[in-house]
Amino acid sequence: MKKFVSVIIATITLILCFTLSACGNKYVSHYSAMLMVRENTSNKASVSFDSFSGIYVIILKNNGADEVYIAYEATLGEGNIKVSYDYNDEKLNLFEIKTNGSVDSKTETFTGNKTIYIIIESDGKCNDGSFSFVLEKSEK
């Protein structure tokens, strides 16, 4: 009887571990990096690194009915990185940056109280990168 109860408790524990660990995130970061500095609030985020390989996900939130856009800047010393965003369950390419590249632009306007995912994906090892994203109110 004790063995049976132990097996049931172990099974329930494993099920809870697997279901709780995947809670709520649409995209998952998995990467290796050296000297990585990150900042992420609801309306702005930045990441800088000496070396990076993998996928890093940033979550921004438009907390209100205002129209907003994402202003972004990026530089990369060496490597290739694709940056995408997901808004309303549609993953779209934002930009691609390559060795010694830089980008300074903004997205189209977003409306509504929504979560915006920004996905930074490297194509192998990258060096000396800096990425910044800020939600700004649209001028009407």
Query: pLDDT tens digit string along 84-111?
Result: 998 778 888 999 999 999 999 988 877 7
Instruction: Supply φ then ψ for residue 9, to 5 degrees.
Output: -65, -40
Q: What Cα–Cα distance (Å) separates residue 130 from each residue in 23, 56, 91? A: 29, 13, 22
Q: Where does the pLDDT of residue 128 fall: very low under 50, low under 70, confident under 90, or very high at 90 and above? A: very high
CATH of domain 26-137: 2.60.120.260
At residue 12, the pLDDT reads: 64
Pair 83, 132: CB distance under 8 Å:
no
Delimit the domains of the chain by residue range. Answer: 26-137
